[in-house]
Structure 1
């Protein structure tokens, strides 16, 4: 059996930040309340790896709640992490403290059973799988670095990614 590979694309999260204000501390604050120190880099709640900003939810949640959690933290569910996959895996292990081996990523089969696509672009995320009646989401297993189809109501931590300001 061939290992499953994840294709990636670059989403355009810049549309998430249409207006910018400044807090009393001088940090940039976007409309969702995310602070960017000195209007650069990552929001204060995120960890930066090579120009990408990541955050893992505090508790396991379902996929829809995960999307809302990420949005509340000026992020999207992470989709483009191939260039920093090893750092993301290490970060995930450190953040989860062996509480889980999987995190939700921004993949669903909402248009056709078994055909998983990235939420933002709609492009294929990984090879089609056997349809399982119903709509599925995907997690990234941090031990095997492979995606796994799961029902969207299952509880997992969520990997969020925010826009990096240079």
Structure 2
């Protein structure tokens, strides 16, 4: 699974690098007024690797999304691999971080596309979630939700601004 994830991440880093090159071009042309005014520093801006649908991916693999060893191992594999790759792809001009991202309308659109194309989608929701826990799971306690966002599941693997967990 790690090799598969790294192959996907390789493409993501190419997209992020191209996006950053576009921003740099616009900045140098004086077209990014917030940047040119000094409100945002292009060299201190993170390129975010956004995670959405983590618990649906686990469910697809038959892993329950609650406080258990299989889910902990799954989360750690995902988070550690992305953090490792973020560090490998970092340059003096590019910094990457990892966050859970809500993906607003994309989480619904991607779910609907996957469903239409015959891929597995969860039957108990109509979108991909941006949480480490299943938001519609009535069997998970508030304390377990807090625990899932802690050291054993997220650890120090969400890097950059560390705003997600």
TM-score (norm 1): 0.28
Structure with a larger share of its residues in strand: 1
TM-score normalised by the chain length of structure 2: 0.29
Bigger radius of gyration = 2
